[in-house]
Structure 1
Amino acid sequence: MKDINYYNTFIAVADDCPVSAAEIPQAKGGVKTVPVIQYEMISRSPYAYTQADVLFEVHAVRNGIKEEEKDLERERFFSRSQACLRTSSLGKRYGWGIHHNAEGKMALYAVESEVYRKLLQDRSIKQLKAMRSSRKG
């Protein structure tokens, strides 16, 4: 399986992110959306998961994959190309920066936080932006 994780990287919020202070994504109609699952995983256990872990767990939760099926399904899941967390609503819509440490494990930082600002100015790590929501401008 190809390594799709980021290392020593900070993904800042998108240029067209509509919020100036981070918001916690909410379930819709009692159903956990992709950003809710991503937020819960990363915020509850900072620097515990890689991008691959989060992408697959979202897939597993949303598709009701049983624990005993996960190894085989993970292989199947990553045999196809997957969108990275630069496309996540966490950075596009909700105002969360994602820091990936040297081991590829992630933590979230609110756009208005001091830590976010420090990570944004840290030239020792790779700087990326979340994808824009629109193609305009």
Structure 2
Amino acid sequence: MSYSNTFIRVAADCPVETGTVPVTAKLQPPAHIIQYELLMDNPYRFTHEELLYEVHVRHKQIPEEERSARKAEIWDGLFSKNHPCLRASMLPKRYGWGVHFDADGEIAIYGKESPEYDRFTSGADSGLTLLNAMRSKRS
């Protein structure tokens, strides 16, 4: 699902008070770490679909030449199935990152402690839809 003019707040049961850099001991980083790296290095560059694609090809370690030659095939195969939205990502659920979708649906993340997070969640921007990240546990 793609959003525009939307901000996903950190989950109510998020265990951290500030945006925390996710880490792993695994050799191959999980999807949420790839999401974090892409969004921190490239704010407002990716739409949701583009982010899903880039995370997929990096997670599967598909070589750049193959990505170029088979992009349409890989894209079609990836999107032949449903994918969860970023409300279910570990970034807003566990690591304290709010997710902003601009008018074009391009994404950036902001730590819960940041002035941008406060501005987005204050309700001052009347055209912005505010959503909560999904909780990790049932209430």
Compute the TM-score of the two structures, normalised by the length of structure 2.
Answer: 0.90
Q: For structure 1, which segment, 10-19 or 49-58, has the greater mean C-alpha deviation from structure 2 after superposition?
A: 49-58
Q: Is the 8 A contact 1:12 1:129 kept in 2?
A: yes
Q: Is the 8 A contact 1:16 1:92 kept in 2?
A: yes
Segments of 4+ moved more than 6 angstroms = none
Aligned-residue sequence identity (percent) comes to 39
Give the number of aligned pairs: 133
Per-residue deviation at 1:120? 0.6
Compute the TM-score of the two structures, normalised by the length of structure 1.
Answer: 0.91
Mapping for residues 1-137 of structure 1, pairs under 5 Å: 4-65=1-62, 66-67=66-67, 68-122=69-123, 123-135=126-138, 137=139
Counterpart residue type for residue 35 of structure 2: Q
RMSD: 1.2
Q: Which runs of 5 or more residues in structure 2 are unaligned?
A: none
Map Cα deviations across residues 4-38 of structure 1 (whole Å, 9 max, x no partner): 31100000100100000110111323321211100
In 2, the alpha carbon distance for the partners of 1:108 and 1:35 equals 12
Q: Is the 8 A contact 2:28 2:59 kept in 1?
A: no
Per-residue deviation at 1:75? 1.1
Q: Is the 8 A contact 2:11 2:92 kept in 1?
A: yes
Per-residue deviation at 1:47? 0.5
In 2, the alpha carbon distance for the partners of 1:28 and 1:56 equals 24
